[in-house]
Structure 1
Amino acid sequence: FCVCGVSAYVPHQYHFVNESKTWTEAQSYCRQNYADLVSINNMEEMKKLNATLKDTPRSLVWIGLEKGNTRKWQWSLAEGNVPSERDAYRNWSLGEPNNSGGKEFCVAMKKTVGTWLDDDCNTLRKFMCYDTWRGAQSYCRNHYTDLASVRNQTENQQIKTAAQAPQDYYLWIGLFNDSWKWSDQSTSSFRYWAPKQPNNYDGKENCTAVSVTTPGTVGGWYDVNCEVKIPFICLEKLILIKQNLTWSEALRYCRVKHVDLVSVHSEEIQLWVKEVAQNASTEHVWLGLRHTCTLSFWFWVSGESICYQNWAPGNGTGEEDCSPVERTGAVQARGGQRWVSLPETQKLNF
C-alpha cells in the first residue's frame, strides 16, 4: 500500500492544517505531506468533516473543489468514480437543454409527459413542496437521501406517476450542470453549497471553502478567490498498487509517486488495510514495517512507534533470521489478515 489520493471510496482520514495558505499552496502542501486536499462524496463524509472542524476558530477552510473549464451534467446523489447506467439515460423535451439566458443549470421534469428541461436553479418549483433546486436538494438530504436520480425509462415513469397532481407542473429532479472538479481527480458529483452559493462575487471565485463559524450555514460551501489565505483540510487514503516489487522497490515507488508505505499504528488503520488488501493479487501485501538486526527490533519507516500490533503467531518476536537478507513486514491479503515477517527480496503488491 501507499498513501495517495485516487479512489473516492477508499477509507481515509481528514487532517486539519491550521496554516493560512492560498488554495494552490494548500494543494501543494497536502500533496507533499498527505494525499491531496479533501474531496467529499456524500452526506456521511460531510458530517464527518464538520465534526473534524467543530472546534476550529477560523471561519473558512479550503477543500479540494475548484472550477474547471468544461461543464457536464451529473446527478446530485453521488456514486463515486464508477460510471453507472444512470449516467447515460436522458429524457429531454424537444429543444432541451437550451440554457436559455445562459443560467439554466438544473433540471425539472414535466409531470404530464415525464420529459425534462433545463431551468434556472433559483426558480421555485415543486419536488413535493415549492422550493428552489438547492432548497429541494437540502430538504431531500435532511429528510430522505437526495433528489431523485433517473437510471432508465421505468424509473422515469415511476417518478412521473408518484407526482400525483391534476395540474400541469414541473418538478425538480437531481440532475444539474456545473464545471467544478476535485483536486484529487475523483469524479464525485456531491455538492453542499451554502444558500446563494456559488455566486462568483468578484468574477474570480474559482475555489471552494467550507464554512466553519458562519451562523446558519456551518458546513456549507462558498466559492472564494483562490488567492485568499485560509487554513485547509488534507485527505489521506490507502490504495493498493498491484505491482509485484521487493520491499525496497515498493518503498521507493511510494515515496517517489505518492507518500510512503503504510504504517499501521491503530486498529482503525488495520481495518482499512484489511478492506483494501483483500483485492491483492499476491498472498501478502507489503507494509512500511522493517526489522533491524543490529538492534533486534521492528520499526515503522515513517517514524511512528510500534504501539498497536497484529502479528500472526510466530512472527514479530524480534529474534529474526537475518541471513542472507533483512526481514520486512507484510499483511496477509486474506484469512486472518495478520502481519508476517518476510525476506525483503520477496516480490509483493503494496
Structure 2
Amino acid sequence: MAQTLYVPLLLIALCSISECVQRQYHFIKEKKNWTEAQRYCREKYTDLATVDNTNYMIKSEKNVLVWQRIKSFNYRFRQKIWIGLQRMSVYKWHWSSGDPVLFLNWASGQPVNSDNCAVVRNGQWTVWPCNAISSFICSTSTGLVFVNQSMNWRAAQSYCRQNHIDLVSVRNQNESQQLENFINGRNSSGSAVWIGLFRDTWQWSDQSNSSFRYWDTTQPDNYKDHEDCTVTTQKGLGQWADFSCDNQFPFVCHEDKLIVIQQKLSWSEALRYCRQNHVDLVSVQSVEMQRRVMNVVKLASTEAVWLGLHNYCSMNMWLWLSGDMVCYQNWAPGNGSTPENCKLENRKGAVQSGGDQTWISLPESHRLNFICTNY
C-alpha cells in the first residue's frame, strides 16, 4: 500500500514548490524625468517597472537586494523613485486582485456617473463614491469572508490585503450567483456591499493589464492638474504618489523573461527552438504567471500559442516540462482530460491568444507561435 501511495503523495508535494520568477528589477540611480527613464529602460531592459502585487519586493534574493536598496535610498535621501504607471485619458474597469474583467453585472442604467468604485446590492452592481462607507467581502484561500464593518473602498481593500487576500472578484455568472447567495445569508438588511471593482485612468508603460495599486492614503491628488506619473515614496513599504513627469528622479526598470516567438512551429520544434536560443518553453504554475502570459500573448499571430505542457499518457495526466504536475489549472471547457488516443496524437498544451486566454489541448503537429522563457 505504501508503494501505491508514493507517487500521488510526491506529486501533491510538488504543488507546494514556489513558482519561478519571470521578471527581474533593476534600480537605476541616475536621475531622469519619467519619459527619459522610460526610454532608458526600453533600450537597456524591457520597460519601466510594472508592479503586480506587494510581493514584488521579495520575489528572489536578487530582487530583495534591489528593493532593499530602493527602500534605503528612499529613507536616506528622502528621494522618490519612478515606476512605470502613467495617467491616461480613458477610464478602465479593474479588479483589485488583478483578475481580468471578463464579466460585468451592472444594474439597469449603471454605471451612470463619475463614481469609480462598485458595490453589489440585490445581486447587481452599482457605482458608488469610493469615499462612501459600507461593509465588504474579502476573498481568502478557502472562500469568502463577509466583513461587517463600515469602511470606504480604499480602507476595505487595505483590510482585505492585510488580513486575507483581496477584495472579492467576480469573473463569471456562476461566481456572481455564488456571491449573491453568500451575501443573502449574511446581510439580511439588503444594504450595499463593496466588491473589488474600480476604475481609473492609470496605465502601465509596458501596457500590462496589472490593476495593482499601492497609493499613499492621500494619493493620487493630481496637484495643479499636472501630476501624471508615479513614484514610490519613503513612507512605509514605499507607497505611491503621483508627481509631475518633468521631475528628475532615479527609477526602476524591469526585465521580463517571457518572449513570444512569432514563428509557426510544431510543439517539438518550438521546444527545440526555446532550448537552443533561450531556456525552455514556458510553464504556467500560478495565477500571477498566467497574467504575465496574458500580457505577452497579445503579440502572437496565431489563435493559440504553445506552452511547455504535455500529456503523460502512461500516468493519465498533464505535466510541465520541468516535471511539475499541473497544480494551477486554467483549462477551457472540454480540455484538460487525457484523450483516449493521446498516444497517437501526442497532445500538447497551448494558451488561446484571444478571448479569456484559457488553455487548450492540441495535437503537437499543429504549427503555432510559442512562448520561451529566459529562466
Match of 2:276 in 1: 285
1:18 and 1:232 in contact (8 A); partners too = yes
2:131 aligned counterpart, secondary structure:
coil
Larger Rg: 1
Q: Deviations over 1:210-235 (max 9, x none)?
A: 11x23xx4321111111111111111
2:71 and 2:237 in contact (8 A); partners too = no
1:93 aligns with 2:107: yes
1:172-321 alignment, distance < 5 Å: 172-211=194-233, 213-214=234-235, 217-242=236-261, 280=271, 282=273, 284-286=275-277
1:242 and 1:280 in contact (8 A); partners too = no
Q: Deviations over 1:9-34 (max 9, x none)?
A: 97121111112211111111111222
1:76 aligns with 2:74: no
Question: TM-score, normalising length from structure 2?
Answer: 0.58
1:157 aligned counterpart, secondary structure:
helix
1:67 aligns with 2:81: no
Structure 2: tracts of 5 or more residues without a match: 1-19, 137-146, 280-319, 324-371
1:126 aligned counterpart, secondary structure:
strand
Change (3 A) 1:335 1:197: closer
1:139 aligns with 2:159: yes
Letter in 2 for 1:32: E
Q: Write 1 or 2 for the structure with the bigger share of helix.
A: 2
Q: Deviations over 1:60-111 (max 9, x none)?
A: 11000001121111111114xxxx5xx2321111221111xx3x0010111x
Give the number of aligned pairs. 240
Q: By how many angstroms is 1:281 displaced?
A: 5.4
2:71 and 2:238 in contact (8 A); partners too = no
Q: Deviations over 1:245-299 (max 9, x none)?
A: xxxxxxxxxxxxxxxxxxxxxxxxxxxxxxxx996453732269xxxxxxxxxxx
Task: Return the alpha-carbon distance in structure 1 between the equivalents of residues 260 and 151 of structure 2.
Answer: 46
Runs of 4+ in 1 over 6 A off after TM superposition: 333-336
Match of 2:35 in 1: 24
2:250 aligned counterpart, secondary structure:
strand
Task: Return the alpha-carbon distance in structure 1 between the equivalents of residues 182 and 322 of structure 2.
Answer: 47
Question: TM-score, normalising length from structure 1?
Answer: 0.62
2:83 aligned counterpart, secondary structure:
strand
Change (3 A) 1:177 1:30: same
Change (3 A) 1:41 1:233: same
Match of 1:118 in 2: 127
Change (3 A) 1:116 1:47: farther
Match of 2:359 in 1: none
RCO higher in 1 or 2 (8 Å CA, sep ≥ 6)?
A: 1
2:229 and 2:243 in contact (8 A); partners too = yes
Q: Deviations over 1:143-179 (max 9, x none)?
A: 1111100122332233233331332311110111111
Q: Deviations over 1:174-209 (max 9, x none)?
A: 111111111112111111111121111120111111
